[in-house]
Amino acid sequence: MSSHPPPQPPLQLLFMGTGTSTGLPLTPCLTLSNPYPEAFSDMVPLLRATSESDSPMAHIKGTWNPQGQFPNNIPCPCCRSAVDQDVPEGWKNKRGNTGVLVRKQNEQTGGYKNLLVDVGKTFREQAARFFPKWGVKTIDAVLLTHGHADAYFGLDDLREWCIRQGRAIPVYLNQETYEKVCEAFPYMVDKTKASGGGDVPQLIWKIIKDDDQLEIEGIDVKVLAVHHGIYFHTIQPTSTPTTTSPSERLEPEPLICLGFMFDSSIIYISDVSSIPEPTWQRMLDRQPRQRPISSSAKMILPTPIDTPISTPSNEEVQTQDQLPILIIDALWPLRPHASHFSLKQALLAALRLKPKYTYLIGSTHPTTHFMWEEICLALRPEGENGKREHPDRVQSDWLVKRVIDRIYNERSQKERGIKERWNLENKDGIVRPAWDGLVLQTTLDGEGEVERLDLSTRGLVY
């Protein structure tokens, strides 16, 4: 008799948002409130659509024309593409705050339970845009990654879901994020602070640890704690202050953001600047939990006293199948950032995990979706970029060349370039930019395409 567990139903992941905390497009770009930032020109140059232009594609619709009508006169290519109907798939540059909905079909009922990861500032509009197309009718549980506005400022918009469903929604979060929620929305955690006259979302706060592993709505969730920049906090002196020992000092501390592994098949890391080694080991160990997971967790409302703690598995890392999907933060193609991975860091992480598919999220302007596609195509052995006509093509070629020179082919004395390493270590791995409305689905045998384009959508346009 085989000791392998029975195959799990496929897991679906629906992208609610793939942008940064601001979302895109940015209104100041659309209103020409300030000149095009000079720093952006190092990433994406401006190309004028004039009769003197040497660009073979500068005259086609969708390019920048400073003397043209709106939106052609918008210099930021990403924000212009988001609103210019002449740009093919320009709507993919409309990016909400990063967030996903994860669901698995119940084998008995055929229905879905929906696990929402992050409820940011753009949650309400993104839900209205996508849920009717996806057929999402319930929100059964929420996971929060960290205590920033783009992760939890939409919590108040869960009120109508609680009313329609006739029950409270459990929200899983760590202690630090819970404290941020208490500061921002005191009436959600303490009903005596509600002013009355309006509905309040009924939420059950469930505090989780940074190394937890638990089951939520039939989905195995392993918590992956990563760093998302640093912040400074005050340290009080342990002795009487002197001239050489100040009364207090500021100490740096990493901001913890939670990534997650779902059913040992999808790793999702939305905001990351570095990954601690213990988290690497948790990601590399994808053996499923063998013992049942208790579903009798105590509800925490309104304070997290006596919170249940689940114990992470201590199983040894064994030979295992290839990770199907990695979804990871990549803010810019060329520049580093204090709080987010760049393209280079995201690819180095993918080289260590060796997933079949890597999806990049969290990108910001001025890089367009088309440019990101071309950057990813250039990583393939044959270099499949530069074969499509597009309004962004000339700028994209300029950017891709710099990515190849500075990122893909850059070598050190000890290591090969990223492209050479990729073709040696993860040749069959595919890298793509994600987009709002995209649906992924795991396959039972780990083979085949994971994009469900029949379910993916640009959403309602209104």
Burial code (b: 16+ CB inside 10 Å, e: under 16) for 93-130 equals bbbbbbbbbbbbeeeeeeebbbbbbbbbbbbebbbebb
In the chain, pLDDT over 90 holds for what percent of residues?
Answer: 63
Burial code (b: 16+ CB inside 10 Å, e: under 16) for 35-50 equals ebeeebeebbeebbbe
Mean pLDDT of 5-23: 89
Question: Is residue 318 over pLDDT 70?
Answer: no
Mean pLDDT of 13-39: 92
Higher-pLDDT residue of 192, 401: 401
Question: Is residue 207 over pLDDT 80?
Answer: yes
pLDDT in tens, 387-406: 888 888 888 999 999 999 99
Question: Cα–Cα distance between 133 and 128 in angstroms, integer?
Answer: 9
pLDDT confidence of residue 236 = 63
pLDDT confidence of residue 309 = 30
Parse the chain into domains and list their residue ranges. Answer: 11-26+93-237+245-441
pLDDT confidence of residue 48 = 62
Closest of 95, 99, 92, 96 to residue 457, by C-alpha? 92
Please give, one letter per residue, the 3-state secondary structure of the chain: CCCCCCCCCCEEEEEEECECCCCECCHHHHCCCCCCCHHHHHCCCCCCCCCCCCCCCCCCCCCCCCCCCCCCCCCCHHHHHHHCCCCCCHHHHCECECEEEEEEECCCCCCEEEEEECCCCCHHHHHHHHHHHHCCCCCCEEECCCCCHHHHCCHHHHHHHHHHHCCCEEEEECHHHHHHHHHHCHHHHCHHHCCCCCCCCCEEEEECCCCCEEEECCEEEEEEEEEEEEEEEEECCCCCCCCCCCCCEEEEEEEEEEEEEECCCEEEECCCCECCHHHHHHHHCCCCCCCCCCCCCCCECCCCCCCCCCCCCCCCCCCCCCCCEEEEECCCCCCCCCCCCCHHHHHHHHHHHCCCEEEEECCCCCCCHHHHHHHHHCCCCCCCCCCCCCCCHHHHHHHHHHHHHHHHCCCCCCCCCHHHHHHHHCCCCEEEECCCCCEEECCCCCCCCCECCCCCCCCCCC
Mean pLDDT of 248-276: 91
- Whole-model pTM: value is 0.88
Show Cβ contacts of residue 400 under 8 Å, excluding neighbours closer than 6 positions: 371, 374, 375, 378, 385, 386
Mean pLDDT of 324-329: 97
- pLDDT averaged over every residue in the chain: 86
Question: Cα–Cα distance between 257 and 98 in angstroms, integer?
Answer: 13
pLDDT in tens, 253-265: 899 999 999 999 9
11-26+93-237+245-441: CATH, from 3.50.80.10, 3.40.50.300, 3.60.15.10, 1.10.3720.10: 3.60.15.10
pLDDT in tens, 79-113: 999 999 888 899 999 999 999 999 999 888 888 99
pLDDT confidence of residue 302 = 38
The answer to which of 148-157, 239-248, 280-289 has the lowest mean pLDDT is: 239-248
pLDDT confidence of residue 44 = 85
pLDDT in tens, 29-60: 999 998 888 888 878 887 765 444 455 554 55
